[in-house]
A and B are shown apart, each in its own frame.
Chain A
């Protein structure tokens, strides 16, 4: 051997595969302003659409007069429900089995609802014309409080389905009721609670928030009348699902619809659903024969596209007097707004809320969820949380804290005492999930040691004494949160959206000179797929990540997949990528055996090559094998080197983490200062530590926003209070604390590379940590629970009620 020959370690480093802090390949274009977003698309003859929207929360439409709008020079058309009815497109199916008005049919049900679609030569003319469409409304009483939605005398919201008492998820109890979902053994849970030594009870509300991606939703629809093909570029987190839905509702054959997701400026669940703007743009393009662009502004995005949360969770948790949890019961009232447009798998109308036993070994639990209609925008999407996991996690993490107060136990100790033990995995929870792997105790232990938890509690004790002596007006709060996520939806046997199984896919082509392209059914919105999927492949097939193009988002070229949300890309499409890579490697092995004239079994894989066992000098690199596949006639083998894999995950993955937050509250102003935030994440195998860190930073910032300020609130008559970024809390770098990140690694046993997904963990775990810290600051003064968001005035009110300020 020659000492210049790179070692296996050096060759592996060159690949920039699993574990490499590879720089994001996307950033070259993003940092230079060269991204290609939907609003960058400009087609010849393109017209612009803009909506007339309801100023009322609930009103009857008596008439719509388009004449003045149509008279504006440059206005091409004004569409209303009447125009869509003959096409049967005035309603569209939602991803939750309901229908949603594309343009308001006789009634408006939320402020900001789409009433008419103006098509004009440019945005300015369209906006002028929107003001001139005269809609005569008769205002009706609105429901803004979900607890009043099922009152006997509540106004009927959905007249279109008032006689349809069998809903998509079973019988409806009231015209404003959507579904009831029940999981667990009610009798066992109630028995455990009624016999328990200690029971804590609390109403935990998780306010309505909005993912608020930097780029709002929009599309360009272009009908080519010559070849009958409809192409839609849009902000779609699930392009293939959009194609199938578009085909089902328009009757255009699926091969004649092409959906393209260009660069997407953040999604977080907001871009999963199908919005009226997409349908109206498509219809307008079909009618006019020219491309139509529709782009929301910020107010439209915040008031009409999918919100998140709005869960009101009444819980009871019981324990023995020494802190062993014995039972959990929860009833959720879920405010879904005017249409049920959440995006959960069909069998899970409340998503995976039954993960609400969290990280604890709870022997008896029971959950019911009632979904109701109100005069608010539809939605109920993830917001960087897989299917109501944030709600569930927030619920259990608050309940455990409330129980700890009642037991007079330290909240960390109570958690340690009730964790599912390492040896219990795979662990089947009493509410039906099979947790794949975990080592919770190690994680929380590491977290507590790193932040010196004992020291912090001692400091807090001193702070409280100083406060009582009048030496300080600040109270210190310590928030402990431990979350278990459930991501990677999901096994086709129980996860589908509109009947589409939630598998995902990858298709790989190796080029003759040893570079490659891989296409996936997912679509990045900032997660860095082009970087990380290439890393998975690099490790699987021995081609440097830099030589692998990753392409997503064009349904004409990408294999079918269910898209990117719910942290599913790595668990599902990432697995498909690894599996497709393994198929490539298997064929390459056959080629190598032929070239090296040995039996396949005599070969072994070594980083980027097959070598003869015991004789490493005799080898063929993947690049050589790729070339051979194109220029050698190998008996029994087809030319070329390609593979496809459709991966149906055997189970979900269960990332977890321990988060600790330390903050100081000024009781006179309600201002909260987060002084320290430590986040330990275990997402299994770590593909790119730098990207994980970035995802965690982003998710924690969103968690901060939600816990400390975000809220989409409505007044009694259905007006949205504060729908611009002046009021909707988006923290800047100034408000954002410095994050400390850490990790443990507990691979998923069923995932090909052991990876679990991380994008949502920080949002799921972060919110509880902030909220627990705020609650903790006041706990010694008798507070059990205060509702989010913990903005200045609410915190101040809490202090006031406890007699601490003034």
Chain B
């Protein structure tokens, strides 16, 4: 549980970080809260030779909403997401999800950027970002680009992030007032990753579900945007048939691995249960 040797840098601007990262080449890694990277380094599953710590870059912090878009700086901690009155008002599922990440000590350091950039299918925020259809703002040597969360994840620990790029912010279209939301997560204990979890967002109109968006955590190599599950709800009154169809659609795309949390069939069924419960709770909150 002792990491190998590495160089350490502490830039104060994104431009500086990007330059340092480019100089470090493929053995360079950025360090955010360190709560995924450092455990991997202690197990020597990650052996970066250069660490570029983003903690002192002020432009990477902060939460605001402008013109129907929420922007969260990559280095905003999970604790700051929880504490944000703005988020609680305009997009409460962010807070609800962040509260189910690990424990307070970890959330005090762990960042939103690290959580979504990490590429670990166990992380909770990526599926939520897919459900919210968030976009990731990415800076590199040649400027800035945006990638949709739904296009970002390729395989476990493989993402659209290229060598030399830094995630700077997350952009989310503010959900309409009166939307329903729920993040349902089953875990073995505090600090555990999900056996299965589901993010559910929906809007109601005239007693019918106008739109629904569902994504799953930790039941595949990547977070899974359950497009068909959401579609099964849209236009229905969320009756048993519609919910069963959504659950079946979610279960159909779940491909968890067997691990200490349980065998494959169990984890698929838990994913279905999380979707089922998530729909019920989201519907109860929608107006």
Q: Report which A residues bind B (CB closer than 8 A).
A: 123-124, 127-128, 131, 297-299, 668-671, 709, 721-722, 726-727, 729-732, 734-735, 791-793, 796-797, 805-806
Contacts and interface: CB of A to CB of B under 8 A. Distances in A.
Interface string B93-121: 00000000001000000000000000000
Contacts of B263: 793, 797
B2 interface: yes
Contact of B190 (A127, A669, A722, A734): A734
A299 B269 CA distance: 31
Contacts of B267: 793
Contacts of B1: 297-299
A670 B190 CA distance: 17
Contacts of A671: 186
Contact of A731 (B103, B189, B266, B273): B189
A400 to B, nearest CB: 30
Contacts of A735: 189-190
B278 to A, nearest CB: 13
Nearest to B274: A669
A793 B262 contact: yes
Contact of A734 (B2, B44, B189): B189
Contacts of A131: 44
A176 to B, nearest CB: 28
Contacts of A127: 2, 4
A509 B249 CA distance: 77
A298 B188 CA distance: 20
Nearest to B187: A792
A669 B188 contact: no
B10 interface: no
8 contacts: A123-B2, A297-B1, A722-B260, A729-B188, A735-B189, A791-B188, A792-B266, A793-B266
A792 B260 contact: no
Contacts of A727: 259-260
Nearest to A713: B260
A293 B99 CA distance: 40
Interface in B180-201: 186, 188-193, 195
B5 interface: yes
A109 to B, nearest CB: 24
Interface in B47-95: none
A475 to B, nearest CB: 16
Contacts of B273: 668-669
B270 interface: yes
A709 B188 contact: yes
A737 to B, nearest CB: 13
Given A131-B44, A792-B262, A793-B266, 14 more contacts: A124-B2, A297-B1, A668-B269, A669-B270, A709-B188, A709-B189, A722-B259, A722-B260, A726-B193, A726-B260, A731-B189, A796-B269, A796-B270, A797-B263
Closest 8 CB pairs of A and B: A793-B262, A127-B2, A727-B260, A297-B1, A722-B260, A793-B266, A734-B190, A732-B190
Contacts of A793: 195, 261-263, 266-267
Contacts of B189: 709, 729-732, 734-735
Contacts of A791: 188, 262
A792 B195 CA distance: 9
B61 to A, nearest CB: 29
B219 to A, nearest CB: 14
Interface in B247-287: 259-263, 266-267, 269-270, 273
Contacts of A731: 189
B1 to A, nearest CB: 4
Nearest to A794: B262
Contacts of A806: 269
A806 B248 CA distance: 12
Contacts of A123: 2
Contacts of B269: 668, 796, 805-806
Interface string B1-42: 110110000000000000000000000000000000000000
B107 to A, nearest CB: 14
A734 B190 CA distance: 7
Contact of B262 (A668, A734, A796): A796
Contact of A669 (B44, B186, B193): B186
Nearest to B270: A669
Contacts of A298: 1
Contacts of B2: 123-124, 127, 297
- Between B103, B186, B188, B261, the greatest number of chain A beta carbons within 10 A of the residue's beta carbon is seen for B188
